[in-house]
Amino acid sequence: MSRSYGSGGLGHPGSPVHTGAELRCPHGGRVAAASAAGAGAHARSAVRMDGLPLMTAADVHTVSGCGHTDGGRPSPCTSVRWSANGGRDAVTVDGAPVLLDTAASRAQCLSNALLPQGAPLVAGSGPGTAQQGVVCR
């Protein structure tokens, strides 16, 4: 059985973030997500938006190409730690909270020494973008 939900119809602020969204650190580095369950787990996910699997707080997010420096020394962002929407009403996939574009303001890009270096930026989601909605199989 398939059910479709528009991005605003779930009673939660923000839009779900799928694996095709463009995520960047505040210094221009590219954020990539890999499923915490293994490399092929995203492809097997039954919950999709615009035909792509949704990202969850359980996914591992790495950063490449960050040119940030601190005092003239390279200090690139290397990972992102998300504070996903929690609580009993949170939308989850396999028990992990789905990431919303508004959750980026509560996320942190981290250096290799795990020092916070700013919030990630989510492009291609939010008001004014064409989204087909969420489909659950």
Question: Residue 6 — pLDDT band, cuts 50, 70, 90?
Answer: very low
The pLDDT of residue 76 is: 97
Higher pLDDT, 23 or 87: 23
Residues linked to residue 70 through DSSP beta bridges, in sequence order: 73
DSSP at 44: H
Percent of the chain with pLDDT over 90: 31
* Cα dist from 54 to 43, 75, 76, 132, whole Å: 10, 30, 26, 13
Question: Using one digit for the tens of pLDDT, what is the confidence trace for 24-72?
Answer: 999 999 999 887 665 555 656 678 888 888 888 888 899 999 999 999 9
The pLDDT of residue 16 is: 84
Residue 66: closest CA among 26, 106, 115: 26
Higher pLDDT, 26 or 15: 26
Question: Taking a C-beta distance cutoff of 8 angstroms, is the pair 31, 24 a contact?
Answer: yes
Question: Residue 91 — pLDDT band, cuts 50, 70, 90?
Answer: confident
pLDDT, mean over the chain:
76
